[in-house]
Structure 1
């Protein structure tokens, strides 16, 4: 029998806690680095899940947060001389998105005596030289924990890296169920337009299906973030608290934008992992295609492929046919 999406969310939240409880202590400060200050709503969902987990389980917030470009080792040490350093989760462990891997390895080099925990990631490398570089950085650190989102990533990490490795669901599930906005049309296609796309998805045969992606930025989101920052300043927040408030505001606005966007379809076709995850959070049926290196399929095999809300499609035509059927069934109901 297929698992309900609510039961799935509850089960994966418990799995997240089983993975993280050994790394978080209620009385100990922690840092989270590499805030996703990008337009992709999925990365904001991961961040909000990280924040939701800390609040729900420990009633706490990170003592220090940063983006890649405003990180200061000195500020981190001043703000929290002790405590673990967490790195934001996602799908950038490897050499597709090298700036994030460069930053990760810099943190390991800069803090050899602090525990560093990588929130759940998918791993993909194209270069054997870069694998070796990452392996050297991890081996030198000796206190790095790598959480991964699929079995293939775990096998890879255990083979190449000298560190603790654990399988953990994506942090976005810690957000919990989300109320969707109203649907506007039967099927929405949310397809990647970046370097992880599988190819040029041709929906010309389906002119009635809107084709979009999660990489447009809302002017309202930017203004809301700045307004929150100004209001926080008036409340005389300390610099670390002000930074966290501003980053949280940006993440919340991006996430809300993403939820509004995908809610417009009664059913969804996607090759984005977090459109799949967020569709589960809002309870919308969705047909899933894979990304360029198997990330979506691998995650679903490990954690989320057992509900009636999702369908692992064999082709774009198969995905569209399934999504249309689901949309029709919702209308009939």
Structure 2
């Protein structure tokens, strides 16, 4: 199969997303989106903005109710969205690695047994059979749950263990579309995880000339700016639900812009983060990809994005940096 340029790849995946979601969204029906990612990880904000972009571009609509985990109200949701689907934010937290998100999603399934609930695309990973079986019981009782997954392995797992509709769907961040990068500062930038999903320890001292960073740090000023934007919306006499949505959107845009500025600094990038891979495609930057702790990135690339002429599947950090140095020299 010939390699795809980023514009061709992005357009193809956007069409695949619409093919998955068009059965669950109607222009004349309200919907809710739960579990806004109020966290510092720019990738989660990219997913959220893709979800918003999809609704706006395809249907000209916005959700009638959104919430974070901590301020979710079943009563407010029922009031704002008495009919229509309930969506849960996508990502890579379906399973028992990031347990608070799984607890929340299962609580929503139990609270709304008669409503259609659609899980935006997720990667699945369980370590505990007991926890997997608990999830299966809750999903099995619901009967109207749609689980969208981001790779074939997650699809096979869900079809084997869960009694629900399962569909393969690309990550929602592709709905943001192509972006212009900012000016680069370094030939190579390494964006490497330091959390539960890191593939292993790396010897960062072996490459003193290469910045090695992550994108989960934000300043207090950045948080204040997002809150100020949200507060300004309240002065426009908008409905509380719209004020909340504007505030959360402002936070997501702020984090996403921070991430794009950060990765744009490298003419070529080495990463073990899925959304650094996706955002590198959106800005058209060459990048070498290492996997995370449980294979999420390679699984996603095998299903959707591995045919880009900008991506290289590295076998090690040394291999990735070697490839990225060559790509940076060509791009200079």
SS in 1 for 2:166: strand
Distance in 1 between residues matched to 2:50 and 2:231, nearest whole Å: 25
Distance 1:164 1:316 in 2: 38
Using the alignment, how far apart are the partners of 1:140 and 1:77 within structure 2?
20
TM-score by length of structure 2 reads: 0.99
Structure 2: distance between partners of 1:276 and 1:215: 16
Question: Is 1:83 aligned with 2:59?
Answer: no
Shift of 1:220: 3.3
What is the match of residue 235 of structure 1? 236
- SS of the equivalent of 1:26 reads coil
Alignment partners' CA distance in 2, 1:112 and 1:272: 35
- Partner SS state of residue 204, structure 1: helix
Is 1:137 aligned to residue 102 of structure 2?
A: no
Shift of the alpha carbon at 1:233?
A: 1.1
Give 1:226 shift.
1.4
Question: Equivalent residue of 1:290, what SS?
Answer: coil
1:225 Cα shift?
1.2
Instruction: Give the deviation of 1:312 after TM superposition.
Output: 0.3
Shift of 1:237: 1.2
Where do residues 153-302 of structure 1 align in structure 2 (5 Å cutoff)? 153-302=154-303
**Alpha-carbon distance in 1 for matches of 2:139, 2:95:** 13
Pairwise CA distance, 1:206: 1.1
Q: Deviations over 1:294-313 (max 9, x none)?
A: 00000000000001100000
Distance in 2 between the 1:278 and 1:258 partners? 9
Indicate the SS of the match to 2:103. helix
Name 2:33's counterpart in structure 1. Answer: 32
Q: Which runs of 5+ in 2 are unaligned?
A: none
In 2: Cα distance, 1:84 partner to 1:230 partner: 29
Match of 2:55, SS?
Answer: helix
Offset, 1:230 = 1.8
2:126 and 2:292 mapped to 1: Cα distance? 15
The C-alpha deviation readout for 1:266-305, integer Å capped at 9, x for no partner, is 0000000000000000000000000000000000000000
For residue 66 of structure 1, report the CA deviation from its aligned partner.
0.1
Displacement, 1:144?
0.1
Give the number of aligned pairs. Answer: 331
Query: 2: CA distance between counterparts of 1:260 and 1:106?
Result: 37
TM-score normalised over the length of structure 1 = 0.99
State the distance in 2 between where 1:65 and 1:292 align.
Answer: 31
* 2:109 counterpart residue number: 108
Q: Which residue number corresponds to residue 48 of structure 1?
A: 49
Residues in 2 aligned to 1:25 and 1:220: alpha-carbon distance in whole angstroms: 39
Residue 86 of structure 1 aligns to a residue in which SS?
A: strand
**How far has the Cα of 1:221 moved from its partner?**
2.3
How far residue 205 of structure 1 moved from its aligned partner, in angstroms, is 1.6
Report the Cα offset of residue 219 of structure 1. Answer: 2.8
Indicate the residue corresponding to 2:16 in structure 1.
Answer: 15
Stretches (4+) displaced over 3 A: none
Partner in structure 2 of residue 123 of structure 1: 124
| Pairwise CA distance, 1:110 | 0.1
Matched residue SS, 2:54 = helix
User: d(CA) in 2 for partners of 1:107 and 1:63?
Assistant: 17
- In 2, the alpha carbon distance for the partners of 1:230 and 1:198 equals 40
Residue ranges of structure 1 left out of the alignment (5+ in a row): none
Alpha-carbon distance in structure 1 between the residues aligned to 2:113 and 2:138: 10
How large is the RMSD of aligned CA atoms in angstroms?
0.6
